[in-house]
């Protein structure tokens, strides 16, 4: 019952018309092959594989799921076939560097591939996404020997990657980990147990490479004593062939709400051979280079599930005959009109579309800055681009996953009772996407990262990477007759965000609870203002082409909906933040209890 069409036209609009990536990327010799014709061809190829193989494997992945059998994890056959199609097409080589056998395509194109993958089969996208993250971590921090041994195998699709952080007694507080690493002659012996390890064991590839956080015997306490180790499922011989089975095993897999095709494993390390990645006691910083990549990728999980839910919700709203248009019958010859005539259904559809479009634009805009800081020869450009990515990463992760949950819920609502049963596939989207706000640091942690670390960093240096171009846009376009109706409310929303930022900075100096109490609201306020800015960038193009095609006129209408019915939420968020932390922190722990004995009073 589920259908999916890759949103090629949307990416053409954002990448080619708004961001003009063919002009931007032409500055970097490494991206010589990334012409628009080549990008379009890859997009169509990837879209076809997702439409024909990944979507069709999704139902089996959900209903059959990954099966645990005496330490082995068996992946559904259709998912293996779908993965094989990507590998054989050479698409796993896209984002690898030429030195290791990759095509070295821009990071901004990974937004396209990640969204499509997660729309079509989120569980399957997890395997590929984790491998891409492991690739980047090893490339940044691994020795030359490690890079030459492992990276080509990631690119070829023969080996897969994971990251192993969490332990039973500690989740986010990684300073409490107990996994140990003892130095041997030319390796480290790792012992401990990790939980919630996505794709920790499976039969999709020849080897699985685990990136594991552990502590040396003399390591300092807390996060300053964490090191990062590469632990392969099979030890790799000097000639690159696979040797003996390493001391790493899957003890069990979790029974989960969703994403059944991706196993969540309990992994045991027993005298497992591991190899240091990066510097001793600097493992958390090394792992975060992978985590930041994964956080943006998780944001795209929210976007991908929102998109496929929206496509199916829209199709159902057009097809399902129910009730009459409130003004006059749309189909007077029939007994009822389609659902899409009803204002509340249109509200859910337009809200979803407005958020998806601006969320996609925000992800692409940020990813283009990744390419700039990786490739631009100007150190100033590199630094500013890196600052922007650091600032926007927690916003993209939290905003797109929160909205992913909200949108899939609304699209299920359009189906009514049919949305709640398995036959139509909508309930799976909701079950699958619900993990995204939890993965890679819960969205509350992302909010604290934004408000507690990114906001004050460098006396607000990171904030300037967003505020300055936004203010420049206002100054440049304030007299534009087309944009004026949007510039005015955007200017007010931006000033409101600046005021909130100043308020939090001042209050946080005297009371750290103020930052914690305001963080989630601040993150949403910032995210909405960022989305409003993305709409301005899109509108600049849409107005110049509105007479060419209804596509552009529809963009203007969607932007108007966003500004009228979504952006005003920034006001309520600001009011909530200004209420402070006093009430929130004054209730005693016992005051949260809902069960109390009768007092016995008459």
Active-site residue numbers? 440
In angstroms, the CA 415 to CA 312 distance is 9
User: Which of 170, 188, 191, 169 shows the shortest CA–CA distance to 179?
Assistant: 191
**Phi/psi at 99 (5° precision):** -60, -30
Label the pairing between strands 180-183 and 188-198: antiparallel
User: Beta partners for 273?
Assistant: 189
Residue 54 contacts residue 117 (beta carbons within 8 Å):
yes
User: Beta partners for 68?
Assistant: 73
- Our CA angle for 84, 312, 559, nearest 5°, is 110
User: Which of 539, 534, 505, 537 shows the shortest CA–CA distance to 522?
Assistant: 505
Task: Tell me how far the alpha carbon of residue 514 is from its chain's centroid.
Answer: 27
Q: By three-state DSSP, how is residue 236 classified?
A: strand
Residue 139 contacts residue 131 (beta carbons within 8 Å):
no
Among all chains, which residue has been given the structure tokens 């070295």? Answer: 104
- In the numeric block, which tokens belong to residue 320? 């399902």
DSSP letter assigned to residue 341:
G
Element counts in the chain: helices (H) and strands (E): 18, 11
Q: How many other C-beta atoms lie within 10 A of the C-beta of residue 445?
A: 17
* 299 φ/ψ sector (left φ>0, alpha ψ -120 to 50, else beta): alpha
- In the numeric block, which tokens belong to residue 433? 């996407």
In angstroms, the CA 79 to CA 57 distance is 5
In angstroms, the CA 12 to CA 220 distance is 51
In angstroms, the CA 275 to CA 578 distance is 50
Cβ-Cβ contacts under 8 Å for 2 (sequence gap 6 or more): 55, 58, 59, 308, 312, 424, 425
In angstroms, the CA 553 to CA 559 distance is 10
Element (H, E) at 353: helix 343-375
Residue 470 contacts residue 530 (beta carbons within 8 Å):
no
The radius of gyration of the chain from alpha carbons, rounded to an integer in Å, stands at 25
| Residues 372-407: b if buried by 16+ CB within 10 A, e if exposed | bbebbeeeeebebbbbbbbbbbbbbbbbbbbbbbbb
Cβ-Cβ contacts under 8 Å for 529 (sequence gap 6 or more): 470, 490, 493, 494, 496, 497, 567, 570
Element (H, E) at 91: none
């Amino acid at each position: 019952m589920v259908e999916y069409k890759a949103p090629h036209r949307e990416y053409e609009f954002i990448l080619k018309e708004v961001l003009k990536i063919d002009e931007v990327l032409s500055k970097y010799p490494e991206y010589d092959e990334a012409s628009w014709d080549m990008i379009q061809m890859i997009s169509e190829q990837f879209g076809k594989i997702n439409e024909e193989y990944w979507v069709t494997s999704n139902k089996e992945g959900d209903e059959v799921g990954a099966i645990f059998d005496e330490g082995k994890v068996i992946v559904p056959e259709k998912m293996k076939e779908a993965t094989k199609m990507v590998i054989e097409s050479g698409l796993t080589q896209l984002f690898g560097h030429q030195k290791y056998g990759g095509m070295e395509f821009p990071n901004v194109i990974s937004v396209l591939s990640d969204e499509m993958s997660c729309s079509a089969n989120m569980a399957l996208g997890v395997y590929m996404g984790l491998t891409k993250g492991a690739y980047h971590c090893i490339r940044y921090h691994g020795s030359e020997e490690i890079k030459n041994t492992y990276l080509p195998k990631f690119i070829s699709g023969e080996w897969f990657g994971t990251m192993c952080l969490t332990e039973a007694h500690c989740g986010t507080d990684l300073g409490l980990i107990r996994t140990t690493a003892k130095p041997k002659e030319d390796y480290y012996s790792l012992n401990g147990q990790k939980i919630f390890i996505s794709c920790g064991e499976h039969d999709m590839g020849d080897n699985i490479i685990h990136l594991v956080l552990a502590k040396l015997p003399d390591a300092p306490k807390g996060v300053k004593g964490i090191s990062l180790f590469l632990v392969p499922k099979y030890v790799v011989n000097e000639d690159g062939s696979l040797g003996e089975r390493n001391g790493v095993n899957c003890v069990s897999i979790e029974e989960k709400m969703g994403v059944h095709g991706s196993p969540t494993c309990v992994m045991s390390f027993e005298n497992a051979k591991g190899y240091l990645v990066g510097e001793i006691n600097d493992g958390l910083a090394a792992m975060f280079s992978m985590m930041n990549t994964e956080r943006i990728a998780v944001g795209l999980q929210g976007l991908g599930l929102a998109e496929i839910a929206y496509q199916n919700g829209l199709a159902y709203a057009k097809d399902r005959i129910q009730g009459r248009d409130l003004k006059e019958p749309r189909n007077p010859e029939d007994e009822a009109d389609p659902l899409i005539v009803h204002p509340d259904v249109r509200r859910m559809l337009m809200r979803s579309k407005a958020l998806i479009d601006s969320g996609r634009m925000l992800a692409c805009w940020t990813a283009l800055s990744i390419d700039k800081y990786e490739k631009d020869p100007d150190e100033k450009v590199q630094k500013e681009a890196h600052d922007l990515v650091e600032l926007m990463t927690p916003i993209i992760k939290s905003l797109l996953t929160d909205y992913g949950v909200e949108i899939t819920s609304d699209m299920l609502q359009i189906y009514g009772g049919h949305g709640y049963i398995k036959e139509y596939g909508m309930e799976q989207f909701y079950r699958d996407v619900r993990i995204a706000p939890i993965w890679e640091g819960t969205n509350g942690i992302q909010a604290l990262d934004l408000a507690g670390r990114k906001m004050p960093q460098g006396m607000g240096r990171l904030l300037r990477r967003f505020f300055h171009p936004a203010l420049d846009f206002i100054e440049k376009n304030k007299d534009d007759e087309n944009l004026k109706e949007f510039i005015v409310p955007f200017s007010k929303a931006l000033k409101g965000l600046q005021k909130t930022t100043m308020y939090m900075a001042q209050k946080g100096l005297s009371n750290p609870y103020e930052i914690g109490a305001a963080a989630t609201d601040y993150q949403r306020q910032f995210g909405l203002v960022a989305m409003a800015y993305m709409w301005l960038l899109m509108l600049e193009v849409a107005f110049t082409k509105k007479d060419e095609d209804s596509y552009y006129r529809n963009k203007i209408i969607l932007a108007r909906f966003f500004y009228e019915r979504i952006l005003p939420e920034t006001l309520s968020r600001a009011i909530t933040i200004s209420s402070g932390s006093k009430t929130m922190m004054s209730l005693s722990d016992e005051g949260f209890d809902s069960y109390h004995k009768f007092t016995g009073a008459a």
